[in-house]
Amino acid sequence: MSQPDGQNNTLDNLLSESRTFPPSAEFAAQANATAEWYDQAAADREAFWADQASRLHWDTQWDQVLDWSQAPFAKWFVGGRLNVAYNCVDRHVEAGHGDRVAIHWEGEPGDSRRITYADLQREVSKTANALAELGVGSGDRVAIYLPMLPEAVFSMLACARLGALHSVVFGGFSAEALRSRVNDAEAKVVITCDGQYRRGKPMPLKANVDEAVKDTPSVEHVLVVQRTGEDVSWNSGLDMWWHEVVDRQSENHTPETFDSEHPLFILYTSGTTGKPKGILHTSGGFLTQAAYTHDVVFDLKPDSDVYWCTADIGWVTGHTYIVYGPLANGASQVIYEGTPNTPHEGRHWEIVAKYGVSLYYTAPTTIRTFMKWGADIPAQYDLSTLRVLGTVGEPINPEAWMWYREHIGGGTAPIVDTWWQTETGAIMISPLPGVTAAKPGSAQTPLPGISVKVVDENGTEVGAGGGGLLVLDKPWPGMLRGIWGDDQRYRETYWSRFAEQGYYFAGDGAKYDEDGDLWLLGRVDDVMNVSGHRISTTEVESALVSHDTVAEAAVVGASDPTTGEGIVAFVILRGGAGEQAGGDQAVTALREHVAREIGPIAKPRQIMVVPELPKTRSGKIMRRLLRDVAENREIGDVSTLADSSVMDQISAGLNTSS
Ligand code: ATP
Ligand code: MG
């Protein structure tokens, strides 16, 4: 992004991939979306989105599909009115599906809850009545600081029902992270719990809230769910037990109706590229795109599929693909509280077998972790119900993709590699499982109704085989409506780079291959410049992961006196490989492997074998911290890491393995 003037900003196009996997005739014949959808959407985009909006129940029909006259602030389905929670819950009960399971909740210690749509309607109504009693109404903000409990879903939907905005703060964040988010949104109520189960142990959570609310003047009440039963300190001016306030409420609550553009939630981005931004989403357009994409990308059949998205609710994937998309579509889904290796490394597959999960959505980092644990683990379980597999969060390395298909998908399940962002609200680029001949590592094609371009630094579109910057050149229904309280930052961050063309700049690098398929290449900030070649960290990582001994790899550019930047790689070796490797020989072999896979220019200057990589809770590698290591600097802010001890482990082991 910060290239000196005149320097070519286009990425060099390195890796090539020729394997393709068309859907089976059988799958294609029953698929929800067909190839014609692309043509229909291209012929009349607004008519296409109007059709998608009719998936929802509108109390008042809109009179205009899109108003872009105040760009970059969009209005979708102008004049329409609806209640988002009614669409996700009540209408399914009214349609006779009250007995259908909405949530198969699985606790980490092995307890479980089965929540039907009728149950969900009662729980959401009680929660809405309780929040109303606490003074929450339309336009108020509620912070939700909860782990993966059903109450998190009830709370989000109760806010939607009342027209209040939720701001979900990931339960692994510190008191300080919570405090800054509560204050930024000026939340009136915080919903939390006593503690959460993590890796088999109860961990306190409320203590962080106690710490945070010492300095949050807007907070009037803290509503506390009892989960672990551990002792908590009690702040009698603020705190109330969920079971005392919610349980006594009426099970009936009449949803109000809100404008299509009524705010639905604020969610802070994961902060890999700077201070988290409070992304604002609204109602009608967001829910339309959530429901549409969840239906066509996962090929959902609501009365027979069991869907499972492993994301945390504190991440946008948990919002769109645990709460709003699946519930708007009347899906039955699994929600799991815990970690994938508690009490054993087969836990996910045990859950798939227990509930007959058919649609499974996870992150590349989780897949690489499963690879590291070994294919013999999933092989012990019946995974035959799985029929669509999804990934999100990072580019997926082709070898991880192949492993996923082979060892989880039985060699047949289509994989959907879904590119999107907190800001886009919902999936933008993804194969359609019954249409697209899938290609390992490529997100391939914008969905019907979505328009993207790959451009050079002047905003000129690059052709097949070219690389550059990903932009969204047309507004879409689920798009963010701004950054909470900071319109100026909204314009600057997303709309200033290509102001002339009016493009949204996503911040990611991308390329087209010779077939015109799209490859996402990670953040533009992570692109390296080696002797004048712009090389994506993702491609070098994928080359490393394609070696038998490597489970995970992270690559950074470290300043280098001769080449500008030198490639430094951090690798985790696969189960068992650690003992034999580590030595100079293994490292030499890996450097040669990269040279063979993509060319000598991409050969890492240095490869370090490490036990872990620094990741955010959504599974993204924090390359800026590894750059600190590679450049021998003091390590920067680790507060949004999933495990903040990882950087110490890396530093401790380094002297021996470089
Ligand atoms: P911040 O903007 O604060 O740094 P963040 O961008 O990590 O946070 P998210 O909105 O969760 O927060 O992440 C979106 C980013 O994740 C995308 O811009 C892209 O870099 C990456 N991403 C998501 N899905 C994919 C995918 N399928 N392929 C490649 N990259 C992906
Ligand atoms: Mg981002």
pLDDT value of residue 218: 98
Pairing of the two strands 306-309 and 332-336: parallel
User: How far are the Cα atoms of 290, 327, 449, 450 from residue 39, in angstroms, in the given order?
Assistant: 21, 28, 9, 12
Q: Is 91 labelled a binding residue? A: no
Element (H, E) at 119: helix 117-133
Residues with CB under 6 A from ligand 1: 269-273, 276, 316, 392-395, 417-419, 421-422, 443, 506-508, 520, 522-523, 618, 620
Largest CA distance in the chain: 71
Using DSSP, state whether 190 is helix, strand or coil: strand
Nearest CA, atom 29, ligand 1:
395
Q: Model ipTM?
A: 0.98
**200 annotated as belonging to a binding site for a ligand:** yes
Q: Rounded distance, CA 102 to CA 150, Å?
A: 11
Cβ contact 574:547 at 8 Å: no
- For residue 254, say whether it is annotated as part of any ligand binding site: no
Residue 100 among known ligand-binding residues: no
pLDDT for the residue numbered 9? 58
Q: Where are the alpha helices (DSSP H) in 148-193?
A: 150-162, 175-185
Cα of 277 vs centre of ligand 1, distance in Å, is: 13
How high is the pLDDT of residue 582? 56
Q: Is the peptide bond before 72 cis (omega within 30 degrees of 0)?
A: yes
CA 393–ligand 1 middle distance (angstroms): 5
- Closest ligand 1 atom number to CA of residue 538: 29
Averages of pLDDT over runs of 10 residues in the chain (658 residues) are 44 79 97 97 98 98 98 98 98 98 96 98 98 98 98 98 97 89 96 94 96 97 97 96 98 98 94 80 98 98 98 96 98 96 97 98 94 95 98 93 97 98 98 97 97 96 92 98 96 96 96 93 86 86 92 92 90 69 78 89 92 86 91 84 84 59
Residue 270 CA, ligand 2 centroid: distance in Å: 7
Task: Look up tokens 């063309």; give the residue.
Answer: 501
User: ∠ CA 265-269-273 to the nearest 5 degrees?
Assistant: 160
Strands 189-193 and 278-282: unpaired
Beta-sheet strands, E only, within 414-476: 415-418, 452-455, 467-472
Q: How far is CA 556 from the centre of its chain?
A: 23
Cα distance between residue 337 and residue 451, in whole Å: 36
Is residue 374 within 8 A of residue 548, CB to CB? The reply is no
- In angstroms, the Cα distances linking 109 to 230, 307, 334 are 15, 21, 16
pTM: 0.92
Protein residue with least CA distance to atom 16, ligand 1: 393
Q: Provide the strand spans (E) within 531-590.
A: 533-535, 550-560, 564-573
Nearest by Cα to 105 from 444, 337, 274 = 337
Binning the chain into helix, strand and coil, the percentages to the nearest 5 are 35, 25, 45
Among 569, 568, 570, 561, smallest CA distance to 531 is for: 561
